[in-house]
Amino acid sequence: MTAHRRSPSLTERLDVSYDGIHRAADLIKRGGVVAFGTETVYGLGALSTSRHAVARVFAVKGRPSFNPLINHFSSKERAFEEAVLDGPLGTLAQQLADHFWPGPLTLVLPRHPKSRICDTASAALPSVALRVPRGRAVQQLLALIDAPVAAPSANRSGRISPSTAAHVVEGLDGLIDAVLNTGSCAVGVESTVLDLTGDKPVILRHGGVTQDALEEICGPLSSPAPQPSSSSRPTAPGQLSSHYAPSLPVRLDVTSPRPEEAYLCLGNADQHVDSQQLIWNLSPSGDLAEAAARLFSGLHFLDHEGTRRGLKAIAASPIPAQGIGLALRDRLQRAAAPRSVTEENASDG
Ligand code: TXA
Ligand code: MG
């Protein structure tokens, strides 16, 4: 299935009024594809129970069918209907959900035999990814739909994730039924994905819940080594290297940007930089939570404005490998990873 761009007027703009949220719920319940904000990034929502709706999500994103989607719910009880919660890791899942939901944590669990999530949403895996997002509008929306909602980030596969409704419109106008404008996303990077299907918990993707916070409940955690970029099915989905890519190349750990580069910096790194330099400061005070919330807006801005000014690359300051800094570093490393057309199509979108 390929996505055909509709006339822009066919993508409805909805606000978070009673009518807007009900309209978004209604469209999704009828098999539509609607983007909405969560605390992390905007998601491209569709019924996980409908093969047709899920196929549209994959087509709109240009996402490879082997890369499974996260299912969103309004409550832990609804989410856990789709999974088997056996043994110590089942108990751990309950504890984590009690602690972090609603919030930016996705749990990968063995799929329940009676799960309503269609096999294409979970890429025919024996597991399902479950998440209860935080936010008044998204909670109301999910409660009205009262079914699992698949929602990958609302960007074309391999491109920068959207943290505002304007970013969604920029990439997907005319391709989807509606955008529910819930404002800017407070956390700004995607959920942490934690795999609970093996012998011990494994972080598949760093995100809004920090490793330190998880370890307070889980004990020491490991993350799998990134897999090489490839168009073939990865053993750990989400671990392919090329992702979050702006059009301009990205250079990492730069303290002295070149004149022909836009500069994504943190703290007071911009003080000694030429006043002509195109700059986006993630957080002048060096606050990593603020930096996460401003990361994707910064990449979108520097990519556009840098391209318009004929700049050659985006240079990024070093980011400390602590707390949510791990998620920022991961997104920037993926943005900087070498890419080819094949790699871009295979990335985890
Ligand atoms: O914050 C988020 O998680 C956002 C918002 C919209 O909720 N969603 C998001 O979805 O980032 P997406 O599709 O862009 O990323 C889903 C990640 C991918 O890395 C995918 O491979 C992984 O979750 N994933 C999904 N189901 C999985 C499964 N059964 N096993 C392992 N990884 C899975
Ligand atoms: Mg994504």
Q: Where are the domains of the chain?
A: 4-218, 250-344
Whether the predicted pLDDT of 345 surpasses 80: no
Comparing C-alpha atoms, which of 194, 110, 120 is closest to residue 150? Answer: 120
Q: Quickly state the pLDDT bin for 230 (edges 50, 70, 90).
A: very low
* Residue 1 vs residue 170, higher pLDDT: 170
Query: Is 103 touching ligand 1 by the criterion CB < 6 Å?
Result: no
Percent of the chain with pLDDT over 90: 84
Query: Is 127 touching ligand 1 by the criterion CB < 6 Å?
Result: yes
Using one digit for the tens of pLDDT, what is the confidence trace for 192-222? 999 999 999 999 999 999 999 999 999 999 7
Using one digit for the tens of pLDDT, what is the confidence trace for 83-126? 999 999 999 999 999 999 999 999 999 999 999 999 999 999 99
- Atom nearest to 106 CA in ligand 1: 3
Give the mean pLDDT of 136-154: 98
pLDDT at 342: 42
Q: Quickly state the pLDDT bin for 179 (edges 50, 70, 90).
A: very high
pLDDT at 2: 55
Comparing C-alpha atoms, which of 108, 59, 100, 71 is closest to residue 237? Answer: 108
**Contact present, 299 and 236 (Cβ < 8 Å):** no
pLDDT at 271: 79
pLDDT at 245: 84
Give the mean pLDDT of 1-6: 58
**Contact present, 42 and 171 (Cβ < 8 Å):** no
Query: Is 187 touching ligand 1 by the criterion CB < 6 Å?
Result: no
Distances from the Cα of 131 to the Cα of 11, 96, 254, 256, 329, angstroms = 26, 11, 35, 40, 23
Whether the predicted pLDDT of 347 surpasses 80: no
- Atom nearest to 127 CA in ligand 1: 29
Whether the predicted pLDDT of 174 surpasses 50: yes
- Atom nearest to 349 CA in ligand 1: 14
pLDDT at 252: 97
pLDDT at 233: 56
Which range has the worst mean pLDDT, 61-70, 95-104, 241-250, 300-309? 241-250
pLDDT at 177: 98
pLDDT at 344: 40
Query: Is 105 touching ligand 1 by the criterion CB < 6 Å?
Result: no
For ligand 1, the distance from its centroid to the CA atom of residue 157, given in whole angstroms, is: 12
Q: Quickly state the pLDDT bin for 341 (edges 50, 70, 90).
A: very low
Bridge partners for 239 per DSSP: none
pLDDT at 136: 97
Comparing C-alpha atoms, which of 125, 299, 118 is closest to residue 195? Answer: 125
CATH fold of 4-218: DHBP synthase (3.90.870)
Using one digit for the tens of pLDDT, what is the confidence trace for 263-316? 999 998 777 788 899 999 999 999 999 999 999 999 999 999 999 999 999 999
From the CA of 126, which ligand is nearest? 1
pLDDT at 272: 75
pLDDT at 222: 78
Average predicted confidence (pLDDT) for the chain: 91
Bridge partners for 194 per DSSP: 107, 203
pLDDT at 140: 98
Question: In the block, which residue shows the tokens 């099915």?
Answer: 233
Distances from the Cα of 271 to the Cα of 60, 172, 254, 267, angstroms = 42, 37, 14, 9
pLDDT at 158: 87
User: CA angle, corner 332, sides to 328 and 335, nearest 5?
Assistant: 145
For ligand 2, the distance from its centroid to the CA atom of residue 22, given in whole angstroms, is: 26
Assigned superfamily of 250-344: Threonylcarbamoyl-AMP synthase, C-terminal domain (3.40.50.11030)
Whether the predicted pLDDT of 236 surpasses 70: no
Question: In the block, which residue shows the tokens 């989400």?
Answer: 238
Task: Tell me the pTM.
Answer: 0.93
Dist CA 163 CA 185 (whole Å)? 5
pLDDT at 232: 53
Using one digit for the tens of pLDDT, what is the confidence trace for 12-28? 999 999 999 999 999 99
Q: How far is C-alpha 211 from the chain's CA centre?
A: 17
Give the mean pLDDT of 156-173: 95
